[in-house]
């Protein structure tokens, strides 16, 4: 086989992926080093390093079906409605330490649910 010469350039264009994520965070860790789980169109993921303060929400999300690099979410508090839902806005990034492979914007709504929500 004779190798072909390839010429040209690669153009990377940002894409907007609109996806709705849903999940839960337990009052205590649900498993060792796991604070909760999420689901989206890409699969099920574990939530780790969940931190919630009065001004910021941060957590890492890693998909369970592969050894993907965790996605870091950093979201700033911006509103709370009368029903107790807290709204956050910020971004996500994938990478290791300062080496960012991909990043984007994200919004999140945290809603408290009563303890008896899942009871029969």
Rg, C-alpha atoms of the chain: 18
Residue 88 lies in a domain: yes
Residue 71 is assigned to a structural domain of this protein:
yes
What was the pLDDT predicted at 13? 59
Classify residue 15: in a domain, yes or no.
no
Parent domain of 55: 22-115
Please check whether residue 84 lies inside any domain of the structure.
yes
Which residues contact residue 67 at a Cβ distance below 8 angstroms, ignoring those fewer than 6 apart?
Answer: none
Query: pLDDT tens, 46-89?
Result: 988 888 888 888 888 888 887 677 888 888 877 777 677 888 88
Token pair belonging to 111: 């809603």
pLDDT score at 60: 86
Residue 30, in any domain of the structure: yes
Number of domain units in the chain: 1
Residue 2 lies in a domain: no
Q: Is residue 5 part of a domain?
A: no
Q: How many CB atoms are located within 10 Å of the residue 29 CB?
A: 13
Report pLDDT for 2: 56
Provide the pLDDT for residue 113: 80
- Checking if the pLDDT of 94 tops 70, the result is yes
Q: Is 116 left (phi over 0), alpha (psi -120 to 50) or beta?
A: alpha
User: Could you give the strand order of the β-sheet that contains 22-25, starting from the edge strand earlier in sequence?
Assistant: 22-25, 36-40, 43-52, 56-63, 71-80, 86-96, 99-110
Distance, in Å, from the CA atom of 38 to the CA atom of 34, rounded to the nearest integer, reads 11
Find the angle CA(75)-CA(68)-CA(62) to the nearest 5 degrees: 40
pLDDT of residue 7: 59
In a domain, 42, yes or no: yes
Burial (0-12, 13-18, 19+ Cβ within 10 Å), 73: buried
Residue-wise pLDDT for 9-23, tens only, equals 565 556 655 666 778
User: What confidence category does residue 3 fall into, taking pLDDT thresholds of 50, 70 and 90?
Assistant: low
Q: Is the pLDDT of residue 31 over 60?
A: yes
């Amino acid at each position: 086989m004779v190798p072909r010469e390839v010429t040209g350039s690669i153009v990377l264009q940002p894409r907007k992926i609109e996806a709705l994520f849903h999940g839960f965070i337990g009052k205590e860790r649900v498993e060792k080093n796991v604070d909760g789980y999420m689901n989206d169109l890409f699969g099920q993921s574990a939530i780790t390093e969940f931190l919630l303060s009065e001004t910021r929400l941060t957590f890492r999300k890693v998909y369970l079906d592969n050894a993907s690099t965790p996605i870091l979410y950093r979201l700033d508090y911006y509103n709370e409605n009368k029903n107790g839902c807290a709204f956050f806005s910020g971004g996500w990034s994938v990478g290791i330490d300062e080496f960012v492979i991909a990043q984007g914007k994200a919004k999140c709504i945290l809603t408290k649910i009563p303890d008896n929500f899942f009871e029969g």
